[in-house]
Structure 1
Amino acid sequence: MNRNRLLNAQLSHAIASMGHGDLMIICDAGFPIPSTTWRIDLAITPDVPDLETVLAPIAANFITEKVSFAEEIKVHNKPLLAKVERLFSGAEFAPIPHATILSEMAAKAKVIVRTGAFDPWGNILLYSGVDVPQWFNKPGVVAPDYYARKM
């Protein structure tokens, strides 16, 4: 049995399959997932599971370099923004237009995880990073400034 707290086999596989810079979207129940994208559908009923229930174990098991979300969330869903900022506190935050998430970003995602969330603008984009202390730990290797801050 797995030692970590993430028990969903598909989600564990998706995280293990991510490379540096790959995009994973954790979306609400109404997100238009392209038919060609790897989909992990966790939705059961409205708000089951909710975004925080899905994001928390992902945050604990996924090295997230950057997090994007709809610009609209800053004004129209501050409670969700606070959860995202708390869960991914070490990541860069880069808001983008909601229309861009629904179109271009959905097509670029390696995997999209659908929740049961009924959360306005509840689509969170997670960009895979690297374990900086592990990656730059060999003698003579010097981390660039961007990564040195994360050492």
Structure 2
Amino acid sequence: MLKGISPLLNADVLYALRAMGHGDDLIICDTNFPADSVARQTRLGRLLRIDNVTAGEAAAAILSLYPLDSFVDDAAARMEIVGNPTEIPAVQQEVQRAIDAAEGRSWPMVGVERYAFYERAKQAYCVVQTGERRFYGCFALRKGVIAPDAA
């Protein structure tokens, strides 16, 4: 255990968060996502896991350390529901609240069509699979920067 770091963030996830650079994507996915096969195509090349938690809990833990990219419009994205892309299910609302809380302001996620989301995930730095069983618990978060301390 480390003070100030969520116990949900295991050593493998902490390594990936630290290793990622500005503009790298991290995918948070549910249990139905083809996580292992997609993760093998990412920069890290292997699947990371935060088991037995919801996507919202995992997002809150990750975002406690991970800045979002303020230079792009799609730094926070969600997989759209097939046939109803504007619907925002409860799992996505929970992750939206985690994003807004971490950033201290409203930061709306953009929707990404299912197969386009798979392609974005393959280009990501890593995939973190959660224990989320609700459908459409899949998100892309693009890493931003931490500004230097004021002089």
Query: TM-score normalised to the size of structure 2?
Result: 0.75
Would you say 1:69 and 2:78 are equivalent positions? Answer: yes
Q: Distance in 2 between matches of 1:63 and 1:21?
A: 11
Give the C-alpha shift of residue 92 in structure 1. 5.6
Give the C-alpha shift of residue 64 in structure 1. 1.6
Give the C-alpha shift of residue 131 in structure 1. 1.8
- Counterpart of 1:124 in structure 2: which amino acid? F
Q: 1:121 maps to which residue?
A: 136
Q: Distance in 2 between matches of 1:115 and 1:4?
A: 21
Q: 1:101 maps to which residue?
A: 117
Write the deviation string for residues 9-58 of structure 1: whole angstroms up to 9, x where unpaired: 11111111110010000100111132343311233xxxx22212211111
Give the C-alpha shift of residue 5 in structure 1. 2.3
Write the deviation string for residues 77-98 of structure 1: whole angstroms up to 9, x where unpaired: 1x22221221112346321111
1:4/1:38 Cα in 2 relative to 1: closer, same or farther (>3 Å)? farther
Q: Which runs of 4+ in 1 moved over 4 A?
A: none
Contact 2:32/2:135 (8 A) holds in 1: no
Q: 1:40 maps to which residue?
A: 48
Q: 2:93 maps to which residue?
A: 82
Write the deviation string for residues 56-81 of structure 1: whole angstroms up to 9, x where unpaired: 1111111122111123264151x222
Q: 1:4 maps to which residue?
A: 4
* Percent of aligned positions that are identical: 23
- Considering only CA atoms, is the larger Rg found in Structure 1 or Structure 2? 1
Q: 2:32 maps to which residue?
A: 30
Contact 1:69/1:98 (8 A) holds in 2: no
- When the two chains are superposed, the root-mean-square deviation of aligned CA atoms in Å is 2.1
Q: Distance in 1 between matches of 2:23 and 2:114?
A: 20
Contact 2:30/2:131 (8 A) holds in 1: yes
Q: How many residues align?
A: 130
Which blocks of at least 5 consecutive residues in structure 2 are unaligned?
70-74
1:76/1:2 Cα in 2 relative to 1: closer, same or farther (>3 Å)? closer
Contact 1:29/1:115 (8 A) holds in 2: yes
Pick which of 108-117 and 63-72 moved more.
63-72
Which blocks of at least 5 consecutive residues in structure 1 are unaligned?
139-151
